[in-house]
């Protein structure tokens, strides 16, 4: 056992990267749920985003175009969910589960010829001298652009929900869709847009795994991250900054336990592997003591009855 | 002079029903116009057309003489139509100012809006703090949010759909003052209600609808409430009657019943004591949300109470559940028809079985006795004139009034010793309400004791022998209803709540 081999600076830098897929997917799902829709298809949208991003990045040679394609792919799949739940008024839970299964199958089909291929590498953002600052440089200024986009999105979602009229309308639709309809807001249109936003972010989260975290394609490689993102939204009481906190906590512990495994700590690997899930959930359960935060219309089917 | 709004020949049909058939009426600026009718008479459809929520099939509307056909509420609001909804269209988790901003076309910044809210609430005597969360407000305060939301847009026509059903008498007075002020300023008001005395006190003209048609207009000040009611119903109404019965021995006693609040938006019960005698009807009034649901749950057995607090026929039943209490003869019919009193998607037979199984022996050894249950449901349907094709229909398919008759009938026919009902005639039309009240009176005449929890004071005055009020989970001492004045009732209901600033 050699705990000295764990470098805290590299650990913190790596946790931000490990947290980004969850962060992206959870931020998107937060917007969806704030609009009153429960989309359990996050995992499916992530894996479809992962293969779309991977394939397009390989074909074009540009990881950035790959991320755009991942967002489009995730949004396209979520549009199917929107069609089922907002137009056909299908049950949201069942539709979401179906979406996940469908996404897993579809991605396996699409990805058949990409197994074993290496994607183009995405470069880090060049902060110039800032990256040379000791400690802070490697932690804050030596990452790929998508990681920064993720953090900026959290801030943008928070500001939109809190400060803008658009955010107010979104919250209103999620809080009481009948009242919002009575006031003349287009509940179905707003929700469809929110669902597509959630799909796009989930797709980007998936592509972050296949293009940056584990630069390769394997079937089912999102491995439950979408479900963690879903849980994170609930335990974060639908608050963007808590989602960020939860994602970093999860990413941090994942990274730490990998390092501990590498250092050969005398704890069975299985316990280490489950620790991120347990610790994240325990912390967020403690944080989410104010229970009344759930959007009032969450998961309920809206039908304008006249 | 051209009227502010004139409707001519409006017709709207839904599959199977004609909601509005050739409806015409005119409203002048500054006029308070009542729209009267039973449930299903087409009042809501009519105002929805004016507010742009529903498009008429035929007919046209004119505003200031120009054609007026709002495609959506936004357009109606822009044309100067404001609406206060019957079921408040508010968002519990948002603040007052946010709620108001959502109902405005070009909402100013929240800080400026808060200032405007303060100004309007001072001008019209509607005290309201802009930064409070709506979920914490009383029903009267919530209604003020809706009214202020309309007033901020300077409406020419204000539509009010059953505005007083949730208010205390004092709050009603404040509302009427506000409406009179508005009308004096030239705002026309279209006032929907079936409380006839209020309409007589407030309105200049009344249009009466029945089955989607205009069946008459009148000047409410010069017409008796009874005449208006008979125009609404289209037949002569029977007033509930009862033979005087001397109260018998005490059958139900609450001894300082105290229970914590079941949920964040609930109300704890605080030291409620009462004694109920055979043959009497106790009316319990109070503004919604002051412990009515919690009291019903404590009596029915949904919420068990600590030992010794609930005595039934001399025995302690505080810890017993609903079925054990039913077996002994304590029955209850809760307020919420769909979902609490009845399971919406189950048939009437199944619903009859759900509460009737214990006393009517509809199951044996865990097996259901379908023929007996069907027979019981059929008895309810015929005895209470429930309009439905048969007991196999789902509860959801019945209209509110018919389902209410079924729900009350189901308990009455089980020969209760004590029956507790919450809002027995809420949202029920006049003739069905009269039938339900008569059934309760007959039950008491037959020697049972009845507790009627209701927000309809006229109803309580009509059928109850004693009256008590719930306020913040406390029950006032019951008083005989004979000779009780509206002011006394208001004080018992704690009507002074939130009124301090309201010097109009």
Is A158 part of a structural domain of the chain?
A: yes
Task: Please give the backbone phi and psi of residue A39, each rounded to the nearest 5 degrees, phi first.
Answer: -105, 105
Mean pLDDT of the region A85-90: 92
**pLDDT score at B242:** 64
Under a CB-based contact definition with an 8 Å cutoff, are residues A260 and A271 in contact?
A: no
- Do residues A255 and A11 lie in contact, with contact meaning Cβ atoms separated by under 8 Å? yes
Between CA B350 and CA B356 the distance in angstroms is 10
Residue ranges covered by each domain of chain B: 5-233, 250-492
Q: How confident is the model at residue B363 (pLDDT cuts 50, 70, 90)?
A: confident
| A155: CB partners within 8 A, 6+ apart | A240
Where on the phi/psi map is residue B468: left (φ > 0), alpha (ψ -120 to 50), or beta?
Answer: beta
Which of B73, B77, B92 lies closest to A175 in CB terms? B92
Closest Cβ–Cβ partner in B72, B91, B107 for A184: B72
The two three-digit tokens of residue A207, written as one number: 């592509």
Q: In angstroms, how far is CA A242 from the centroid of its own chain?
A: 14
Q: Provide the pLDDT confidence category of residue A250 given band limits of 50, 70 and 90.
A: confident
A198: closest CA among A68, A19, A76?
Answer: A76
Does any domain span residue A133? no
Q: 3-class DSSP state for residue B359?
A: helix
Give the 3-state secondary structure of B276-321.
Answer: EECCCEEEEECCCCCCHHHHHHHHHCCCCCCCCCEEECCEECCCCC
**Whether residue B501 has pLDDT greater than 50:** no
To test the contact with chain B by mutation, choose from A175, A177, A188, A296 the residue with the greatest count of B C-beta atoms within 10 A, namely A175
**pLDDT tens-digit map of B327-355:** 999 999 988 787 788 888 899 999 999 98
Considering only the C-alpha atoms of chain A, give the largest distance between any 2 of them, rounded to a whole number of Å. 69
Q: Which residues of A touch B73 (CB under 8 A)?
A: 182-184
* Residue B496: predicted pLDDT: 41
- Nearest Cβ partner of A165 from B72, B73, B107? B107
pLDDT of residue B153: 83
Residues in chain B closer than 8 A to A183 (CB atoms): 73, 89, 102-103
The three-state secondary structure class of B26 is: strand
B89 at the A interface (CB within 8 A)? yes
> B419: which strand partners?
B331, B450
A168 vs B contacts (CB less than 8 Å): 94, 98, 101-102
DSSP conformation class of B91: -
pLDDT band at A84 (very low <50, low <70, confident <90, very high): very high
Each residue's pLDDT tens digit, B29-51: 999 999 988 766 788 889 889 98
Mean pLDDT of chain B: 85
Residue B45 and residue B213 in contact, taking contact as beta carbons nearer than 8 Å: no
List C-alpha distances in Å: A28 to A36, A148, B327. Answer: 13, 16, 53
Question: Residue A98: how many CB atoms within 10 A of its CB?
Answer: 18
DSSP string, chain A: --GGG--HHHHHHHHHHHHHHHHHHHHHHHHHHHTT---TTHHHHHHHHHHHHHHHHHHHS-HHHHHHHHHHHHHHHHHHHHIIIIIS---HHHHHHHHHHHHHHHHHHHTGGGTTPPPPPPPPP--GGGGGSTTHHHHHSSS-HHHHHHHHHHHHHHHHHHHSHHHHHHHHHHH-HHHHHHTT--HHHHHHHHHHHHHHHHHHHHHHIIIIIS-S--TTTTTTHHHHHHHHHHHTTT-HHHHHHHHHHHHHHHHHHHHHHHHT-SS-HHHHHHHHHHHHHHHHHHHTT-GGGS-TTTTPPP----
Q: What is the CATH number of domain B5-233?
A: 3.40.50.300
Q: Would you say residue A66 lies in a domain? A: yes
Report if residue A148 sits inside a domain.
Answer: yes
pLDDT reported for residue A66 = 95
Q: Is the pLDDT of residue B495 over 50?
A: no
Q: Do A183 and B98 touch (CB under 8 A)?
A: no
Taking the Cβ of residue B93 and every Cβ of chain A, the question of whether any pair is shorter than 8 Å is answered with yes
Domain B250-492: which topology? Rossmann fold (3.40.50)
Burial B233-255 (b: 16+ CB within 10 A, else e): beeeeeebeeeebebeeebbbbb
Residue span of the structural domain in which A276 resides: 13-121+143-293
Q: Which pLDDT does position B141 carry in this prediction?
A: 82
User: What is d(CA B302, CA B320) in angstroms, rounded to the nearest whole number?
Assistant: 9
Average pLDDT over residues B187-201: 85
Of the candidates A79, A296, A293, A78, the one whose C-alpha atom is nearest the C-alpha of residue A172 is: A296
Report the pLDDT value the prediction gives residue A3, as an integer from 0 to 100: 66
ipTM: 0.78
pLDDT in tens, B119-170: 888 888 788 888 888 888 877 788 888 888 888 888 899 998 878 766 777 7
Tell me how many degrees the CA angle A133-A134-A138 measures, rounded to the nearest 5: 80
Range from A36-40, A242-246, B208-212, B456-460 carrying the lowest mean pLDDT: B456-460
| Contacts with A69 (C-beta within 8 Å, 6 or more apart), sequence order | A52, A53, A55, A56, A57, A207
pLDDT of residue A306: 41
pLDDT, average across residues A257-270: 84
Q: Which positions in chain A have a beta carbon within 8 angstroms of at least one beta carbon in chain B?
A: 165, 168-169, 171-172, 175-176, 178-180, 182-185, 291-292, 295-296, 306
**A90 has a pLDDT exceeding 80:** yes
Dihedral in degrees, nearest 10, Cα atoms A292, A293, A298, A299:
-70
Task: Give the residue among B376, B326, B327 at the shortest CA–CA distance from B351.
Answer: B376
Is the predicted pLDDT of residue A171 greater than 80, yes or no? yes
The whole-number pLDDT of residue A79 equals 96
Taking an 8 Å cut-off on Cβ atoms, the answer to whether A296 and B93 are in contact is yes
- Selecting from A183, A295, A306 the residue whose C-beta is nearest the C-beta of B103 gives A183
Given a cut of 60, whether residue B499 has pLDDT beyond it is no
How high does pLDDT run on average in chain A?
Answer: 90
**Looking at beta carbons, which residues of chain B come within 8 Å of A237?**
none
Fold agreement between B5-233 and B250-492: yes
Where does the pLDDT of residue B200 fall: very low under 50, low under 70, confident under 90, or very high at 90 and above?
confident
What's the first-to-final CA gap in chain A, in angstroms?
69
Residue A1 has pLDDT above 60, yes or no: no
B85 to chain A: which residues are within 8 Å by CB? 182
User: Which CATH number belongs to the domain containing residue A235 in this structure?
Assistant: 1.10.3470
A273-287: pLDDT as tens digits: 888 888 877 877 777
Residue B72 Cα, gap to closest chain A Cα (Å): 7
Task: Note whether residue A164 is domain-resident.
Answer: yes
Average pLDDT, integer, range B274-302: 89
Distance of CA A249 to the CA centre of its chain: 14
Q: Evaluate if residue B498 carries a pLDDT over 70.
A: no
Looking only at the bridges linking them, the beta strands covering B281-285 and B466-471 are parallel
Contact A182 B98 (CB under 8 A): no
Q: Do B89 and A165 touch (CB under 8 A)?
A: no
Considering only residues 22 to 61 of chain B, which have any Cβ-Cβ distance to chain A shorter than 8 Å? 48, 52-54
Write down the pLDDT at residue B243.
59
Share of chain B above pLDDT 90, in %: 27
Q: How many domains does chain A fold into?
A: 1
Q: Residue A300: inside a domain, yes or no? A: no
Residue B288, pLDDT score: 75
pLDDT given for residue B241 in this prediction: 67
- B248: Cβ contacts below 8 Å, ≥ 6 apart: B277, B278, B279, B447
Asked whether B309 and B398 are in contact (CB, 8 A), the reply is: no
Whether residue A7 is contained in a domain is answered as: no
DSSP assigned state of B101: H
**What are the pLDDT digits (tens) for B428-475?**
777 788 888 999 999 998 889 999 998 878 888 889 999 999 888 889
Residue B394 CA from chain centroid, whole number: 23
């Amino acid at each position: 056992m050699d705990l000295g081999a764990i470098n805290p600076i590299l650990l913190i830098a790596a946790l931000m990267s490990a947290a980004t897929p969850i962060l992206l997917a959870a931020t998107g799902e937060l917007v969806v749920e704030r609009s009153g829709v429960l989309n359990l298809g996050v995992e499916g949208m992530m894996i479809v985003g992962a293969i779309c991003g991977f394939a397009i990045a390989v074909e074009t040679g540009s990881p950035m175009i790959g991320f755009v394609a991942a967002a489009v792919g995730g949004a396209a799949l979520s549009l199917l969910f929107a069609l089922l739940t907002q137009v056909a008024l299908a049950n949201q839970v069942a539709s979401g589960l179906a979406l996940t299964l469908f996404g897993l199958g579809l991605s396996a089909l699409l990805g058949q010829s990409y197994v074993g291929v290496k994607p183009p590498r995405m470069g880090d953002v060049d902060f110039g001298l800032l990256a040379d600052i000791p400690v802070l440089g490697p932690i804050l200024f030596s990452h790929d652009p998508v990681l920064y986009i993720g953090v900026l999105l959290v801030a943008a979602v928070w500001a939109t929900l809190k400060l803008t009229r658009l955010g107010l309308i979104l919250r209103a639709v999620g809080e009481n869709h009948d009242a919002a309809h009575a006031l003349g807001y287009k509940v179905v249109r707003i929700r469809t847009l929110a669902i597509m936003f959630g799909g796009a972010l989930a797709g980007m989260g998936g592509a972050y795994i296949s293009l940056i975290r584990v630069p390769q394609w394997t079937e089912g490689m999102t491995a439950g991250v979408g479900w963690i993102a879903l849980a994170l939204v609930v335990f974060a009481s639908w608050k963007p900054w808590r989602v960020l906190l939860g994602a970093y906590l999860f990413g941090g512990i994942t990274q730490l336990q990998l390092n501990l495994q590498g250092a050969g700590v005398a704890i069975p690997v299985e316990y280490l592997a489950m620790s991120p899930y347990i610790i994240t959930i325990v912390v967020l359960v403690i944080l989410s003591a104010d229970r009344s935060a759930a959007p009032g219309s969450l998961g309920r089917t809206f039908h304008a009855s006249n | 002079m051209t009227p502010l709004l004139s409707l001519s020949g409006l017709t709207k049909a839904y599959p199977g029903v004609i909601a509005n058939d050739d409806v015409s009426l005119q409203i002048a600026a500054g006029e308070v116009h009542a729209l009267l009718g039973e449930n299903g008479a087409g009042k809501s459809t009519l105002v929805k057309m004016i507010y742009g929520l529903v498009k008429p099939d035929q007919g046209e509307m004119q505003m200031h003489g120009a054609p007026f056909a709002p495609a959506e509420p936004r357009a109606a609001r822009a044309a100067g139509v404001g609406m206060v909804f019957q079921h408040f269209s508010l968002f519990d988790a948002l603040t007052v100012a946010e709620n108001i901003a959502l109902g405005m076309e070009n909402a100013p910044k929240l800080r400026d809006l808060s200032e405007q809210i303060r100004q309007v609430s001072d001008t019209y005597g509607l005290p309201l703090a802009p930064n409070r969360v709506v979920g914490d407000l009383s029903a009267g305060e919530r209604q003020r949010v809706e009214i202020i939301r309309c007033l901020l847009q300077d409406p020419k026509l204000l539509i009010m759909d059953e505005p007083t059903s949730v208010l205390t008498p004092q709050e009603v007075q404040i509302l009427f003052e506000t409406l009179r002020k508005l009308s004096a300023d030239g705002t026309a008001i279209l006032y929907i209600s079936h409380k006839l005395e209020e309409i007589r006190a407030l309105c200049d003209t009344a249009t009466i609808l029945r089955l989607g048609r205009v069946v008459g207009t009148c000047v409410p000040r010069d017409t008796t409430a009874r005449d208006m009611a008979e125009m609404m119903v289209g037949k002569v109404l029977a007033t509930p009657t009862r033979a005087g019965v001397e109260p018998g021995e005490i059958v139900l006693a609450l001894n300082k019943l105290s229970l914590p609040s079941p949920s964040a938006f609930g109300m704890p019960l605080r030291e409620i004591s009462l004694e109920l005698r055979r043959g009497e009807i106790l009316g319990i009034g109070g503004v919604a949300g002051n412990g009515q649901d919690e009291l019903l749950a404590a009596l029915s057995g949904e919420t068990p109470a600590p030992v010794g607090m609930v005595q039934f026929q001399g025995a302690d039943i505080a810890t017993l559940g609903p079925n054990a209490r039913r077996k002994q003869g304590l029955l209850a019919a809760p307020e919420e028809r769909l979902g609490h009193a009845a399971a919406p998607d189950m048939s009437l037979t199944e619903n009859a079985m759900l509460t009737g199984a214990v006393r009517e022996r509809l199951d044996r050894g865990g097996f259901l006795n379908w023929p007996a249950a069907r027979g019981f449901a059929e008895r309810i349907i015929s005895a209470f004139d429930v309009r439905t094709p048969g007991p196999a229909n789902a509860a959801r398919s019945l209209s509110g009034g018919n389902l209410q008759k079924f729900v009350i009938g189901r308990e009455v026919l089980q020969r209760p010793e004590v029956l507790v009902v919450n809002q027995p005639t809420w949202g029920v039309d006049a003739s069905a309400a009269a039938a339900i009240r008569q059934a309760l009176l007959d039950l008491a005449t037959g020697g049972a004791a009845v507790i009627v929890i209701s927000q309809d004071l006229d109803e309580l005055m009509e059928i109850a022998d004693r009256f008590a009020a719930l306020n913040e989970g406390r029950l006032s001492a019951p008083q005989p209803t004979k000779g009780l004045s509206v002011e006394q009732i208001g004080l018992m209901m704690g009507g002074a709540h939130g009124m301090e600033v309201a010097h109009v």
